[in-house]
Chains A and B, each alone.
Chain A
Amino acid sequence: MVKAAQAGDASAFGKLYELYRDPVYRYCLARSGATHDAEDLVADVFLRAMEALERYEDRGLPFVAFLFRIARNAAIDRSRRTRPDMSIEDLTNDPESDHNVESAAARSSERQALVNAMSKLKADYRDVLLLRFVEGYGAAEVGRMTGRSEGAVRTLQHRALDRLRRELDRSGASALFDRWGGAEAAK
């Protein structure tokens, strides 16, 4: 699909967008902490990817690693231009939301707290948490994507989780996650 897009196939690039827009969106959301900023960043990332497509070389890494690298640079550029907007904006379009309004509100609060806490982490910490736990890549693969050894990724991941926990404690949001240690986890 990447090769086809490089050859000028618009529909192939469209498929790449459909395939990777959500991981990129989550990455951008964790970085910016606000949905509208994340949406603008996604547009910026794919526009940059379109321009850089000719220079892309398959080196055995997933294409999404290329997009994450672009996203990281785009987010840095954007944060230079504007201060991060930390509005308390609920994450919308939650496919898990059910008819239980209370439950949906709790999940939304959790996510907002997590996203806010992650947006305050160092980029390296945020990246490793996103790649390992949100996107579900193995430590070895994350290592290849970020140029680290597997052991270094695990160490970084441990520190990042510790930092995230402290950030949640500091913001008083850690109580929101109690359910993940008990019944919800078992489920």
Chain B
Amino acid sequence: MNEGSLARALGALRSTHMPELASDRVRDELERAWRDRADRPQRRGLAVPAFARAFALVTVVVVTGFLTLRAGADSPLYSARIAIEDTLVLFQADRVEYVTALYEERAEEAARLEAVGNALAAGHAREAEADTLRLLNRIMPRTEDPSPEPSPAIVVAPTAEPSPAPTVTPTPIPTATRPGTPPPAPAPTPKPATTRPSTVTPTATPAYFTVHATGYVTSADGTPVNDACVSTGIDSSCVTSTTNGRIDFVLVGRKGQSITLYVRKLDPLTGATQRGKVTTVVTGPTLFLGQIVIRVI
């Protein structure tokens, strides 16, 4: 059986017709449906051409995307914006640069919201900032740090600041003590209005850069503390945690910027939280935090 004979056999099907009886039944059905259709109220006014619907859909998507990417921390779209921006990290040629810029942007936004007294939105922005810092630490290529032993303990002091909003302490709390040295003058930062926990910008200084920070956390008896939470606010989420007492992470800062880091560790025996903090100034791409002793306040 070749193609020609099959084609001819198929052609013979053309003589197949619908049975008249069935055709009459369908015709009756159609006539009924036509009458019903004529009786129905017309809805011509609501008919929207397909291209208009498609255009409207695209417009909605574009506008929503635009609004989302411009949403501030006080907007319900902020979490969507953060999620989109974080997802875009995957598509960046230079992820570190992109995340650094993100961190800078979120830190500035948090500072701005704190300055206007919007604590809730500022809290969201701070969370996003801390998340960005954690992300940066994950993606930042690490180099072995040949930092020396932390012989001179730099800063350690439990702080009794009751303020729920993480603040840079403008008050002369005795937070830094160097053994064998005169009592230090706690870095007087003359900007009490801004309440950023980790980064203070005393002057409008140059651009941010990544800073590799290292240090040690010990308990009062000098034992290295494992799994202590390191954060940029008193009780904010951890940006890193200690491993055998060692802090090793990357943050973003500017030259001359004062950085305060908070360390806390829940004592499982007593249920009390041991706390400590360190304030230091960024001088270059490496930042030695020294030894941080944590105590129950």
Binding site for B on A (CB under 8 A): 8, 10, 13-14, 17, 21-22, 25-26, 29-30, 35, 38-39, 42-43, 46-47, 50-51, 54-55, 91-96, 107, 110-111, 114-115, 129, 132-136, 158, 161-162, 164-165, 168, 174, 177-178, 180-181, 184-185
Bound together, the chains give a CA A133 to CA B127 distance in angstroms of 70
Partner of A47, one of B6, B19, B33: B33
Bound together, the chains give a CA A47 to CA B37 distance in angstroms of 10
A185 close to B3 (CB less than 8 A): no
Binds A, one of B24-32, B129-137, B235-243, B289-297: B24-32
Bound together, the chains give a CA A43 to CA B21 distance in angstroms of 13
Task: With both chains docked as a complex, state the minimum distance between the C-beta of A177 and any C-beta of chain B, in angstroms.
Answer: 5
Task: With both chains docked as a complex, state the minimum distance between the C-beta of A167 and any C-beta of chain B, in angstroms.
Answer: 11
Q: What residues of A have a CB within 8 angstroms of the CB of B11 in the complex?
A: 133-134, 136
Bound together, the chains give a CA A134 to CA B33 distance in angstroms of 30
Task: With both chains docked as a complex, state the minimum distance between the C-beta of A47 and any C-beta of chain B, in angstroms.
Answer: 6
Bound together, the chains give a CA A176 to CA B86 distance in angstroms of 68
- In B4-26, the 8 Å CB interface with A consists of 4-20, 22-23, 25-26
Bound together, the chains give a CA A161 to CA B9 distance in angstroms of 11
Task: With both chains docked as a complex, state the minimum distance between the C-beta of B263 and any C-beta of chain A, in angstroms.
Answer: 63
Q: What residues of B have a CB within 8 angstroms of the CB of A8 in the complex?
A: 38
Partner of B7, one of A21, A25, A30, A161: A161
A-B pairs, top 5 by smallest CB distance, nearest first, are A133-B10, A180-B5, A25-B18, A39-B22, A181-B5
- In B66-91, the 8 Å CB interface with A consists of none
Count of A-B contacts judged by CB separation below 8 Å: 120
B37 close to A50 (CB less than 8 A): yes
Partner of A25, one of B2, B10, B16: B16
B9 close to A114 (CB less than 8 A): yes
B4 close to A185 (CB less than 8 A): yes
A13 close to B16 (CB less than 8 A): no
User: Given the known A-B contacts A13-B30, A29-B16, A93-B17, are A174 and B1 also in contact in the complex, defined by CB atoms under 8 Å?
Assistant: yes
Q: What residues of B have a CB within 8 angstroms of the CB of A181 in the complex?
A: 1-2, 4-5
Partner of A39, one of B14, B19, B38, B47: B19
Partner of A177, one of B6, B23, B38: B6
**Closest chain A residue, CB of each to CB of B42:** A54
B1 close to A21 (CB less than 8 A): no
Bound together, the chains give a CA A158 to CA B4 distance in angstroms of 11
Task: With both chains docked as a complex, state the minimum distance between the C-beta of A91 and any C-beta of chain B, in angstroms.
Answer: 6
Q: What residues of A have a CB within 8 angstroms of the CB of B38 in the complex?
A: 8, 10
Task: With both chains docked as a complex, state the minimum distance between the C-beta of B2 and any C-beta of chain A, in angstroms.
Answer: 7
Sample of 18 A–B contacts (CB below 8 Å): A10-B38, A22-B18, A25-B18, A30-B13, A43-B25, A47-B29, A47-B30, A50-B30, A50-B37, A93-B19, A94-B15, A115-B13, A133-B10, A134-B11, A136-B14, A161-B3, A161-B6, A181-B5
Bound together, the chains give a CA A118 to CA B20 distance in angstroms of 24
**Closest chain A residue, CB of each to CB of B27:** A17
B1 close to A177 (CB less than 8 A): yes
Task: With both chains docked as a complex, state the minimum distance between the C-beta of A127 and any C-beta of chain B, in angstroms.
Answer: 13
- In B28-59, the 8 Å CB interface with A consists of 29-31, 33-34, 37-38, 44, 47
Bound together, the chains give a CA A186 to CA B6 distance in angstroms of 14
Q: What residues of B have a CB within 8 angstroms of the CB of A165 in the complex?
A: 1, 3, 6
Bound together, the chains give a CA A43 to CA B104 distance in angstroms of 67
B26 close to A180 (CB less than 8 A): no
B9 close to A17 (CB less than 8 A): no
User: Given the known A-B contacts A21-B23, A39-B26, A180-B8, are A94 and B16 also in contact in the complex, defined by CB atoms under 8 Å?
Assistant: yes
User: Given the known A-B contacts A35-B19, A39-B18, are A110 and B9 also in contact in the complex, defined by CB atoms under 8 Å?
Assistant: yes
